Amino acid sequence: MESRSRSMHKLTAKICPFLFLFLAHAAHCFYLPGVAPEDFHKGDPLKVKVNKLTSIKTQLPYSYYSLPFCPPKKIVDSTENLGEVLRGDRIENSPYVFKMREPQMCTVLCRITLDAKTAKQFKEKIDDEYRVNMILDNLPLIVPIRRSDQDSSTVYQLGYHVGLKGQYSGSKEERYFIHNHLAFTVKYHRDPQSDSARIVGFEVKPYSIKHEYEGEWNEKSRLTTCDPHNKRTVVSSNTPQEVEAKKEIIFTYDVEYQESDVKWASRWDAYLLMNDDQIHWFSIVNSLMIVLFLSGMVAMIMLRTLYRDISRYNELETQEEAQEETGWKLVHGDVFRPPSNSDLLCVYVGTGVQFLGMVLVTMIFAVFGFLSPSNRGGLMTAMLLLWVFMGIFAGYASARLYKMFKGAEWKKLAFRTACMFPGIVFAIFFVLNAIIWGQKSSGAVPFGTMFALVLMWFGISVPLVFVGGYVGFKKPAIEDPVKTNKIPRQIPEQAWYMNPTFSILIGGILPFGAVFIELFFILTSIWLNQFYYIFGFLFLVFIILLITCAEITIVLCYFQLCSEDYLWWWRSYLTSGSSALYLFLYATFYFFTKLEITKLVSGLLYFGYMLIASYAFFVLTGTIGFYACFWFTRLIYSSVKID
């Protein structure tokens, strides 16, 4: 079931109608547009495309032709979706010419002579360990690396390094060498009936070699270091090509074709198993089971305690007997008093509903295979579009709560709901984009894309929030189960452990504990340029997060009401929302322990984006906790007799 699950939703983009029932065989399947298999016959041309240059040390992508690599006669940009542009992808054509199942040996791409500027560019990219990314038939280029440990298995890395640093024997001076010879391997799965083939693998072994030739260079010159006529090919980098001004570099490549038993539906296995050895499945499952067990215990304790409290209160005959009881019934006349800054609370709750809807629908699509890694940029595009269309639920939720608080200016509230969270995120994003633009990185979002984002925001999201706000405000106001006293009750002095700051910070630990292991893999996929595909498992973790946020908030809210503190509105939001603080602290820990970022600009980008992620996590978890506590208080106060 494990391997079948992998084949179906991480690799193939086949969407089966009964996938959610985990049936082994589906009656009908179809392919997503753009990721359908393509059949090639012998001699068919294969389009090799180049993508961005990436580095885990700088996190700043650059276009392939920002370095003086061999260009084609005309550089043509591929059409990219919104998610690809935001990821910094810049997919362009290349001068590499492949023909299906026709091997090539030592094909000369071009010859360039470095000047001081281009030599410096190459050295900087080699220093920062930049990788070159290419694409063939929608498959990214990978480099197979043989491990030296006991199992001697092969691991794969995305893209090949621009070059490397080293020293000549007998010298201590560090030199820069470029990978100027690429030995490509195209793996294919052949159909014996039609003799057509599908590409199932795209690998490369890069070499650095100082090519030599006789006489003056011209188009017909033959290399002595790499000659197909004499069947002499590059097998090592013993005489590497140094990067220095006024030195010439000759770029060459080989193409080898290997028939493979791997079928097209499983061709992404090598990519998604790159770090399989780092996935501690038993540790993850164990942590999740502990969280489930603790949550179940908390729920049982709460149900038994509340049942006993309600039964005891309803059996009391006199007010004097009730006064002898300490607890939550004593604040029934104040518990539904509108909080301070109630408008802001409505805005945040509405935004949280919008975010919750976006996350739920996105995960459902991902679990069904619509957002597989083969659909580059699909995940981010889906999240943005869903965020925009979920605005109607944001307006509705905020307006319903606002009317319960006796609010009257619903249009003003709807505008704040539509603009506050996206406005803060957009401001941070704009500053970060300006920083990236200053570095001349392809990761900078173009003006046209930025305009499209603003148009989606104000052209679709804002009107939908107003529509939701109008519908929500026209609904009858939510009735409180008990009447609110005109004069607020004095809150007695609280024990140290019921201090708002302390209880809020304590409340965020358990929700964070439910996701922090999965968070490690998510951060790794984002910042170490790896694929994340375990959406089914992520969906399970998300459901556990919902349950944990709800239960820990209810528990602490119950203790707060028992201490005769009725100011629960904001505290319920902040209790589970405080898990975002732990997320940001963990991101800081991850930065200093797992990443090798040394540049100030890259550090600013990392913490800027993680601040946005933490803010979004705060809004999401806070809203879950608020609604859990809202339901809980209404339930318990409608279940007792109030004289």
DSSP of 34-86: T-----B-TT-EEEEEEEEEE-TTT---B-GGGS-PPP-SS--BPP--HHHHH
Give pLDDT, residue 606. 93
Looking at the predicted structure, is the pLDDT value of residue 274 above 60? Answer: no
The pLDDT of residue 27 is above 50: no
Whether the pLDDT of residue 642 is over 70: the answer is no
How much of the chain is in helix, strand and coil states, percent to nearest 5? 50, 15, 35
pLDDT over 50 at 30, yes or no: no
Cα distances (Å, whole numbers) of residue 59 to 69, 92, 597, 601, 606: 21, 20, 8, 9, 8
- 441 pLDDT exceeds 80? yes
Whether the per-residue pLDDT at 76 is higher than 90: the answer is no
- CA separation for the pair 618, 606 (Å, rounded): 18
Q: What are phi and psi of 50, to 5 degrees?
A: -105, 145
pLDDT in tens, 318-347: 555 544 445 667 777 778 888 888 999 999
pLDDT of the residue at 32: 47
Percent residues over pLDDT 90 in the chain = 31
Tell me what pLDDT residue 11 has: 34
The yes-or-no verdict on residue 366 having pLDDT over 70 is: yes
- Structure confidence by residue, pLDDT tens digits, 230-270: 777 777 777 888 888 888 898 999 999 998 888 888 888 77
Report pLDDT digits (tens) over 180-222: 899 999 999 988 888 889 999 999 999 998 888 877 777 777 8
What does the pLDDT read at residue 26? 31
Hey, what amino acid is at 253? Y
In angstroms, rounded to a whole number, what is the distance separating the alpha carbons of residues 629 and 621? 12
Q: Over the chain, what is the mean pLDDT?
A: 82
Per domain, the residue ranges of the chain are 44-271, 339-405+407-476, 506-637
Per-residue confidence (pLDDT) for residue 326, from 0 to 100: 52
> Taking residues 145-150, what's their average pLDDT?
67
* Position 28 pLDDT exceeds 50: no
Residue 471 pLDDT level (bands cut at 50, 70, 90): very high
Q: What three-state secondary structure class fits 109? A: strand
Specify the pLDDT at position 152: 58
Full 3-state SS string of 524-572: HHHHCCCCCCCHHHHHHHHHHHHHHHHHHHHHHHHHHHHCCCCCCHHHH
Alpha helices in 278-341 (DSSP H): 281-315, 319-324
| Pairwise CA distance, residues 144 & 270, whole Å | 10
For residue range 151-165, what is the model confidence (pLDDT) as tens digits?
556 778 889 999 988
Q: State yes or no: pLDDT of 414 exceeds 50.
A: yes
pLDDT in tens, 276-310: 444 546 556 756 776 777 677 677 766 766 677 66
Mean pLDDT, range 129-143, rounded to an integer: 91
Q: Which of 31-45, 94-108, 130-144, 319-333 shows the lowest per-residue confidence on average (mean pLDDT)?
A: 319-333
pLDDT for 290: 64
**485 backbone dihedrals φ, ψ, rounded to 5°:** -65, 150
Percent of the chain with pLDDT over 70: 85
**Can you give the pLDDT at residue 454?**
92
pLDDT of residue 277: 43
Please give the pLDDT value at position 610.
94
Looking at residue 1, its pLDDT comes to 36
Question: Per-residue b/e over 476-487, b at no fewer than 16 CB within 10 Å?
Answer: eeeebbbeeeee
Residue 640 — very low, low, confident or very high, per pLDDT cuts 50/70/90? low
Contacts of 414 (CB under 8 A, 6+ apart): 395, 398, 399, 465, 466, 468, 469, 470
The residue among 351 and 316 whose pLDDT is bigger is: 351
Give the C-alpha distances (Å, rounded to integers) separating 109 from 72, 93, 157, 250: 10, 14, 24, 8
Residues 575, 552 contacting (CB under 8 angstroms): yes
Lowest mean pLDDT among 64-73, 379-388, 525-534: 525-534
Q: How many beta carbons lie within 10 A of that of residue 427, not counting itself?
A: 10
SS (H, E, C) 128-152: CCCEEEEEECCEECEEEEECCCCCC
Give the model's confidence band at 613: pLDDT under 50 very low, under 70 low, under 90 confident, else very high. very high
Q: In one letter, which amino acid is 266? A: S
pLDDT of the residue at 567: 84
- pLDDT digits 0-9 by tens, 518-543: 888 888 888 887 777 777 778 888 88
Could you tell me where the DSSP H helices lie in 578-599?
579-594
CA angle 280, 285, 291 (to 5 degrees): 130
